[in-house]
Amino acid sequence: MEGGRGNNSGRGRGRGGGGRRGNYDDQQGGGRGRGNQGGGRGSEGSYHQPPARPQSQWVSRPPPQANQPPPQANQPPPQPAWGYRPPAQPVPVAVGATSGRGRGSTWTGRPWGESSRQPNPLPSPAPAPAPAPVPVGAAARVRSPTSSESGKQRQIEAIRRPDHGGTLAVRKINLVVNHFPISFDEAGTIYHYDVDVKPVAANGNPPAKKVLRKSDLRLIKDLAFPGAELLRTVYDGEKNVFSAIRLGEGQYRVDVPEGEDVRSGSYMFTIKLVNELKLSKLKDYLKGNLTHVPRDTLQGLDLVMKENPMRARIPMGSRSFFSARNSADLRGGLAAYMGFMPSLKPTEQGLSLCLDYSVLAFRKPMPVIDFLKDHVGFREVNEIVRMTKPIIDALRGLKVKVTHRRTNQKYTIVGLTRETTRNVSFEFVDTEGNAPPRMVNIVDYFRDKWGKDIRYLDIPCLDVGKPNKPNAIPMEFCVLAEGQRFPKENLDKNTAVYLKNLTLVKPWQRRDTICDMVRAEDGSFGEIARNFGISLDMNMTKVGGRVIGAPELKVGGTRPVRVDAEKCQWNLLGKTFVNPKSMDCWALLDFTEGDRYSRLQAEAFVNNLRGRSRNLGIQMAEPDVYRLTRMNEFSSVDRIERLLKDIVNEASRVNKGKQLQMIVCVMTRRDPGYKYIKWISETQIGVVTQCCLSPAANKGQDQYLANLCLKINAKLGGTNFEVSGKLTNFNPSDHVMFIGADVNHPAPMNKECPSIAAVVGTMNWPAANQYATRVSPQKHRCETIKNFGTMCLDLVKAYARINKVRPRRIVLFRDGVSEGQFEMVLGQELFDMKAAIYSDDYQPLITVIVAQKRHQTRLFVENKSDGGQTGNVPPGTVVDTKIVHPHDFDFYLCSHYGGIGTSKPTHYYVLFDENGFTSDRLQKLIYDMCFTFVRCTKPVSLVPPVYYADLVAYRGRMFQEVAMEKDPRGTSSTASFDQSFYDLHPIC
């Protein structure tokens, strides 16, 4: 019992979170989310070329000349000397052609995943100038890595910036950015120590083997240092201590008194000097005089800037810090806390603190009984007895602190006692051995031991023990511990909307809030930072921004379409698609039977949809099959499978064997069974589906129907619109393939399910707006794409089948990796890609670009008049000076219109480039590509290859969930890794 045997108290740590979430309605793209990611450095060495080949087939490229003039706008880019040269004559391009296995649209192509077939003979461009490509027939030879290379990460640095930033702009604007310049003593030294903490044996007993929590280690570390040293040291909660002064090395005995938030006793604290970090090296790196990143120094300074909020605020992991001050009530025992996420960034202006704010839902630190009244809903305390199940569901896993004695210890609730409080007894053990164990009533114990009379005797106690060691505490002496996050996925709809509105504030409000947080006493800058010789400029960085002009778009007809001046949107009214596809054989699956309020008006919906399709150039017939059913069909995957197969068979009878093109599914509401429809249609029966909701379908608004037609035409293999003219930096004869790659990780609490790797690639040129996809499960939470080379080779083969020539240039966009993982992308994934696709006569020129959305940089207009109606930066805003890396090739691009909240730019980071990009050419290329996303008539915030890879990875996650439900053995991890669950039907 609590207080009777302290060893019986249970501790636990729970951490909520979810994987990537998406909108099941096909009218919108899936949401985004990421799991925890780690980074690491590989073995030392350099990697400047692909696997070794015969000298006659391999040409080393000389380094570019510093004073070499850039190519003119009407000239092709300079041809690098590495790899093959394009033939002198243009190669015929089959734009919009389809392969025998797919239509070549966004969601079609060979079955997702690694190919199990033998390599097909591939067409190939000539290795030297020639009037025509080499005839089809010779299979490509692929050299595997040597045994010494296999499995190793080849270290390679990201390329340097090719110029001093871009100049292309239709106008320039003045911006402020949430980067706050940091100054430090260049002659200073930071001392890096390794620490180790172990319990000391007591009374001849062996020390406990229990792993100490970070909070335990932090408390022991604070007790180990005297006050003067404590204010000059920072600790990461594991093994590293960074100090502004030299500390004494050796072993120290630390005694933890009773009542602290760690088990009392003695601990041996061992400290050893690891390194002396000279801040002059950091200064050299910022000036470009040092090539390698001083990671240890940056890690130490990052901890210094986080130490003040770590002590004064509620830490969430090691990245975010929240406070109950100025919180908003969410009811149900919840409150919205405001916090910030600080990070250090090396930039052109020096070291900067980047800080953005966020809002999360937390449980209020309140008495457990009051929480239950607020959260579960009852008036009298004695009602707890008849509401046991909802109360256990609400309390299980929560952490509580006790009020009957002084202690900071936290207990994790595992349930309720079966008996009411007056009947709870426990075995009391005299730790001094003066009396034998005996049974004690908990009411008597609290009166005798603590002088507390228990008020509520007819309700259960909280059980905070372990399965074999129960530990009961009367509910009235427990309060919820502070800092317990409530998962936003579990919020009711109204509360979730309210919390979202607190996050999506206007730009000027976010700007003021960030400045207030930087200047606050519990912000990132405090006494400890000053003790390290650090000073912080409390004003945001001013920087010049450029607005790139939007491209003209091609739709049906001869006249190009100009986009709106402010929002960069365009209207399809009175226009047709570039390549509309007819829908001659389709079915309407109506799930609204029995729903009085959301019943589909089927005849009106079909007429409205056909009329809008006709205006856009799609010839849509009447549905061949109409099936009315109920939403309860979604209760199992088998019921949905029987239903869809029955519709396919009926359509075949009606059309005498003609292939069913699409099934339009209308539902009354969002349902988890949506994944059943997608998995069955795309892997089992080979018919694409388009889902929508009946309330919107019944309204029949023109814009909604147009959005439906966008997706329908794309899934049929048509082309909606494309950029007018050629894409920047390339010629129509270049045959460029754009590849997007992403990895979707399971929820943080999931320990078994695989991560899902997705790779997509364009199949047409020069439009470059139709994609084939590959997806594959891999090891749990592994960020490196293990089958990357195989999937890229498969996409190259698909491109060759469609266009009768392999791509000469490849631009790879990688999503979801941080700066610490750049070496992994270059040393493993790029090497794997080259080893797979290179041969003696085929060496395409490759560019690797990382697209980052998970960063904290925000752009604000200095003058509100430059921000339009919402106050956000206009679409096409690019920043590539001052706040970017001091010498690497990166930039920020805000390509979309910010209608709500504050726009967040995408951070593009070029790691490898053989295509001779300049800042202007690459920024214009990416911005133009953002207008080719098939699902909407406006530019998107992320370059489409990455956007599609993200959607495909989430689709793979849905298929994995189906695999878990269908696994007859009940071993979800085994079924989830089965590649067959992710392979598309050959017809799709």
Instruction: Tell me whether residue 274 is exposed, middle or buried, using C-beta atoms within 10 angstroms of its C-beta: 0 to 12, 13 to 18, 19 or more.
Output: middle
pLDDT tier for residue 67 given thresholds of 50, 70 and 90? very low
Report whether pLDDT(86) > 90. Answer: no
Distance CA 475, CA 16 (A): 24
Instruction: Tell me whether residue 428 is exposed, middle or buried, using C-beta atoms within 10 angstroms of its C-beta: 0 to 12, 13 to 18, 19 or more.
Output: middle
Q: What does the pLDDT read at residue 353?
A: 97
pLDDT tier for residue 730 given thresholds of 50, 70 and 90? very high
Give residue 148's identity as a one-letter amino acid code. S
What are the φ and ψ backbone dihedral angles of 573, each rounded to 5 degrees?
-65, 125
Domain boundaries, the chain: 366-481, 580-716, 731-855+907-968
Q: What angle do CA 892, 897, 903 make, to 5 degrees?
A: 55
Q: What does the pLDDT read at residue 206?
A: 62
pLDDT tens digits, 879-894: 999 999 999 999 999 9
Name which CATH class applies to 731-855+907-968: alpha beta
With beta carbons less than 8 A apart as the criterion, state whether 193 and 272 touch. yes
Strands (E), 279-414: 314-316, 320-331, 334-347, 350-363, 399-402, 411-412
Second CATH level (architecture) for the domain 580-716: 3-Layer(aba) Sandwich (3.40)
Neighbours of 511 (CB within 10 A): 19
Name which CATH class applies to 366-481: mainly beta
Task: Answer yes or no: pTM beyond 0.85.
Answer: no
Report whether pLDDT(968) > 80. Answer: no
Q: What is the DSSP secondary-structure string of 547-574?
A: EPPPPPEE-SSSS-BPPPTTT-----TT
Residue with tokens 């029955």: 646
pLDDT tens digits, 16-43: 333 433 333 444 333 334 344 444 333 3
Q: What does the pLDDT read at residue 157?
A: 77
pLDDT tens digits, 578-601: 999 999 999 999 999 999 999 999
Q: What does the pLDDT read at residue 971?
A: 56
pLDDT tens digits, 671-692: 999 999 999 999 999 999 999 9
Residue with tokens 């109606």: 869
Range from 114-128, 449-463, 858-872 carrying the lowest mean pLDDT: 114-128
Report whether pLDDT(321) > 60. Answer: yes
For 648-678, give one letter per residue: b (16+ CB within 10 A) or e: bebbbeeeeeeebbbbbbbbbeebebbbbbb
Report whether pLDDT(388) > 70. Answer: yes
Distance CA 393, CA 414 (A): 10
Distance CA 264, CA 266 (A): 7
